[in-house]
Amino acid sequence: MIPVYINSAACISVQDTLNENFLQNLNPENSVLVLKAIEPNYKEFIPPAMSRRMSKTVKMSSVASKYALKEAGIKNPDAIIVGTGMGCSQDSEKFLKNVLDNNEEFLTPTFFIQSTHNTVSGQIALALQCHAYNFTYVNTSSSLEFSFLDAKLQINDGEAENVLVGSTDEQTERTMELYKLNNTIKKEENLPADYLNSTTEGVIWGEGSSFFVLGKEKTEHSYAQLKDIQILNKVELDKTQKFIEDFLTKNNLTNEDIDAVILGFSGDAKSDVYYKQAMDLFPNSALLYYKHLSGEFNTASGFSTFMACHILKNQEIPEVMMINSIKKEDIATILLYNHLGGSDHSLVLLEKA
């Protein structure tokens, strides 16, 4: 297998992650039900006439992908692969509202055309005039992981040398209302949220866009080596540790070889039990969490991958992410474990480049 490196990482999130000094200014949030992304000044990146026709997720992705390509020194990637859970839901809502308001008559097709999930990867390709492989994965919380897996296969099969991989999800007013009604989002009376020892169900919802350039060659910008990915739709609670151990064994590792574990604690008491099971497997590793910084959403693992890349490159763990007090002098291997509401479990293994 050819080594695959993450040669750049860019992120737009509820933190100011486009700022070079963002690690010093991470601001946890546990008292707001819905967290909004800190957006850049789009006029600097996208012509205003185009920007007006773009939904938030397309704009965030356009900027994050430009940052990622610029950092990697790549003008045109050999493939563009995007993972999204909800796609362009703003335009989907606008189209459905038009259907209702106009009694299904005299509809303009614009919102429908722009509401498809692959609008993001298509718009990036149009801007770059890139005619290469272009694919979108819609697999709830494992959308980014499937995108990584595809990119890894493209590179290993010799189909591509540099692949732009991204994840993106936006919020919409109506969807957030529905999430509050079905208790996906916490109730006001259950705030502030306790992410690590929650006794209530529901989460604080976020949004964001993360992009990475994966390449077959290690560069001076390389953050990490993407070693392996494992995805499983359902895992029995008492099989959580076996799920992780089997993955480590496959990679000739034990739990003692993992320097840091990033867990997706979301403050949902019902589904966070999986992470508590996983914690017990790593008594000598640095245990970290991140959704108090990003919020929960379908592709929140993009934020954790972005943070893992910076931890490996800088060899420093932000205090605000630490669950335990274990600090390793050399952080060589990081394991990321994530799921959404107890479904679509994913493991990602990263090593220092």
Q: CA-CA distance, 224 to 311, in Å (whole number)?
A: 10
Domain residue spans in the chain? 5-215, 227-352
**What is the phi/psi pair of residue 5, to 5°?**
-110, 145
Task: Output the pLDDT for position 336.
Answer: 98
pLDDT tens digits along 29-79: 999 999 999 999 999 999 888 888 888 999 999 999 999 999 999 999 999
Is-same-fold flag (5-215; 227-352)? yes
pLDDT tens digits along 265-297: 999 999 999 999 999 999 999 999 999 999 999
Tokens standing for residue 32: 């707001």
- 333-340/260-263 β-pairing: parallel
Tokens standing for residue 200: 């209530």
Task: Output the pLDDT for position 6.
Answer: 98
Q: CA-CA distance, 119 to 114, in Å (whole number)?
A: 6
**Bridge partners for 164 per DSSP:** 80, 213
Q: CA-CA distance, 99 to 107, in Å (whole number)?
A: 7
Look over the chain and give the mean of its residue pLDDT values, rounded to a whole number. 95
pLDDT tens digits along 230-270: 999 999 999 999 999 999 999 999 999 999 999 999 999 99
Q: Is the pLDDT of residue 181 over 90?
A: yes
Instruction: Specify the pTM.
Output: 0.95
Q: CA-CA distance, 65 to 212, in Å (whole number)?
A: 8
| Domain 227-352: assigned CATH number | 3.40.47.10
pLDDT tens digits along 221-233: 899 999 999 999 9
| Domain 5-215: assigned CATH number | 3.40.47.10
